[in-house]
Amino acid sequence: MADTPLLSIRNLSVSFATSRGPFRAVDGVDLDVSSGELVAIVGESGSGKSVAMLAVMGLLPWTATVTADRLAFDGHDMLALSPRERRRIIGRDLAMIFQEPMSSLNPCFTVGFQIGEALKTHLGLDRAERRVRSIELLREVGIPEPERRLKAFPHQLSGGMSQRVMIAMALACRPKLIIADEPTTALDVTIQAQILDLLVRLQRDNGVGLVLITHDMGVVAETAQRVCVHYAGQQVEMQETAGLFRDPHHPYTAALLAALPERASGRILPSIPGVVPGLADRPKGCLFSPRCRFATERCRTVPPPRSGPELGLALCHTPLVGGVPQRRTQAA
Amino acid sequence: MTAPVMEAVELTQTYEVARGFLSAPASVKAVSGISFRLAPRATLAVVGESGSGKSTLARMLTMIEPPGSGALFINGADVAEADAATRRRYRGEVQMVFQNPYGSLNPRQTIGAAIEEPLLVNTSLSSAERRRQALEMMTRVGLRAEHHARYPHMFSGGQRQRIAIARALVLRPKILVLDEPVSALDVSVRAQVLNLLVELQESLDVAYVFVSHDLGVVRHMADDVMVMYLGRAVERGPRDAIFDAPKHPYTRALMSATPIADPGARRERIVLEGELPSPFNPPSGCPFNPRCPLVMERCRAEMPPLERKGGRLVACWAAQDTPGPTPMQRQPAFA
């Protein structure tokens, strides 16, 4: 990561205006992604992982207020761009794959038309060139008989096929960065394996940067190089994948890993009590403190500082080392 | 072995599907020839991808629909031969928890009313007694008494699933059919609900039929595992036999495709080609043969029977009667 990263986010916050006052869905998130890198963002529902990436894409509704110290993609300041300039980048250099392939495709148009749209808008290809490129794309994502599939409507495709079409659309203009939001959650495991294989191959062979949003720790372990853990809108930890699974520094990460049935030893899983705090019951100090088994009085009253990189940038008063909370000695 | 609380013999379900005005209706074999015995307090996990017939099987086991052919025995008695009154009693013995806790609770019914409803329908208890039993069951599943008068929208997904479990258990069934009970829940909440299910099984003496596609959860919960593919059982046996040395190529592919939350694990991955074939015209011979890495001439012609091989039942011509895995073509894992 010597050169400047492709995507660089500093202190990104998103709040939504609700009838009960502003709700902070994303709170001070930092992220750097370089070309050819696969970064995973993990978190439970409500952790703000999707909203943070939608903010990068500029796809949030008008009720959202996005602020950031820096939100740069490939040298562009995404916050300062006009909508017209933004549209020129999105879909070409920066593409997104959504969670529900069935509902993300337009049911009224054929697959060929929907892939061709981006090719026409961004690259100005004519009809014949679009057809050739669409067939090439469908073949690349592993769809059999691509010539015939161009005329298919989304309802004629299975979930796995629809997701491949979504990926083909994302790849259409050879993007530099792809954001995949739970790309395999709606799919069966054998199909999930095919799609993950495809994404990892694209990232490795074509040098595409990939941000993978997921809640599945198994998917993270098998694909990502680096992992960000989100909780209630905050980024609580960021580490290399191997380190995160070996020695998680934030108590939430540790508890999340311990709660996986495949990592448990006994009949009773070490579960995390309670639920993610909502708008009304946000605690004063550390947001995880009501559910944390290491929480002290200070955690409940004082917001935690960010640790240094040697402690996974953990947002915690007493980050864990080898499962044992450490007294903080110096500020990082 | 103790007498089974539930026994299925060659359960088969075929649906007629209309294919337009002039064409003859097509028939889909959703489930075919499923047999198993479920011991008291045991857990049988049914594993398979969408379209494998898991949910149809669950509907037959809960007597929501009668089987097309085959027989279902509850406590040793054939359900089909029972009169209406007895069958009503059997329904109380087998209860179900559905996948989506957002869809399975009536939004206009209080939690108390939802949990009491099975008692209202199936027993002649007084309303005070119904309320007492509902409150007792709510305490058991970790809900508080003041939740009794609240509505489903006031609860999180995990709490709703607790409500659904309380409603299913309030009649004190001997068998609980759980259709993907935790797949809609977040990891931390999932662990809470799984723990609750383990506790309840011990305290209430209930046997589980646990339908799931999540092998991590299945390995944690199950005593026996049945793997289904296109309506048929391809492998069935004790959990450890199946997880330690899966014999059917589909079971092996399924296991290798399930991501493991351990980046250090060096694994080999079998990536299956293609997708589940259409149930309208299943392939001849073994239903798995178009995707199978071990396919032979015989697989395309003849359906392999479910035979005992290496401590479990497996339906595959290529599986050998040895305890270890058979050699096969494999691809290296990611990275």
The nearest alpha carbon in chain B to A205 belongs to B335
Touching check for A42 and chain B: CB below 8 Å? no
When computed from its CA atoms, the radius of gyration of chain A, rounded to whole angstroms, is 21
> What pLDDT, in 10s, does the model give residues B78-128?
998 888 888 888 888 999 998 888 888 999 999 999 999 999 998 899 999
> What pLDDT, in 10s, does the model give residues A196-243?
988 998 899 888 999 999 988 999 999 999 999 999 999 999 999 999
Touching check for A36 and chain B: CB below 8 Å? no
Q: What percent of chain A stands above pLDDT 90? A: 61
Strand A7-18 and strand A70-73: pairing?
A: antiparallel
Residue B321 is predicted with a pLDDT of 65
**Planar angle of CA B328, B333, B335, nearest 5 degrees:** 155
Touching check for B223 and chain A: CB below 8 Å? no
CB B304 within 8 Å of CB B315: yes
From the list B191, B199, B259, which residue is nearest A222 (CB)?
B259
With CB atoms and an 8 Å threshold, state whether B187 touches A259: yes
CB A113 within 8 Å of CB A151: no
Q: For residue A178, which of A143, A206, A220, A215 has the smallest C-alpha distance? A: A206
The answer to whether residue B34 scores a pLDDT higher than 60 is yes
Strand B207-212 and strand B43-47: pairing?
A: parallel
Domain B6-93+173-334 CATH assignment equals 3.90.1150.10: no
Q: Binning pLDDT at 50, 70 and 90, where does residue A273 land?
A: confident
Q: For residue A44, which of B163, B165, B158 has the smallest C-alpha distance? A: B158
CA distances from B302 to B50, B289, B299, B305, B317 (A): 25, 10, 6, 9, 9
With CB atoms and an 8 Å threshold, state whether A269 touches B220: yes
Q: Would the pTM count as exceeding 0.80?
A: yes
With CB atoms and an 8 Å threshold, state whether A242 touches B334: no
Residue A327 is predicted with a pLDDT of 73
Q: Which residues on chain B are in Cβ contact (under 8 Å) with A263?
A: 261-262
Touching check for B198 and chain A: CB below 8 Å? yes
- Location of structure tokens 């929480």: A295
Touching check for B213 and chain A: CB below 8 Å? yes
**How far apart are the two ends of chain A, measured CA to CA in Å?**
21
- The burial of A24, by beta-carbon neighbours within 10 Å (0-12 exposed, 13-18 middle, 19 or more buried), is given as middle
Q: What percent of chain B stands above pLDDT 70? A: 95
Q: Which run of H or of E encompasses A45?
A: none
Q: Describe the strand order of the beta sheet including B77-78 as a list of residue ranges.
A: B26-38, B6-17, B69-74, B77-78
From the list A44, A188, A241, which residue is nearest B186 (CB)?
A44
With CB atoms and an 8 Å threshold, state whether B192 touches A217: no
The nearest alpha carbon in chain A to B221 belongs to A267
Q: Give which of B154, B186, B268 to mutate to test A binding, by max A Cβ within 10 Å.
A: B186
Touching check for A194 and chain B: CB below 8 Å? yes
Q: For residue A213, which of A49, A58, A56, A97 has the smallest C-alpha distance? A: A49
For chain A positions 55-94, those within 8 Å of chain B (CB to CB) are none
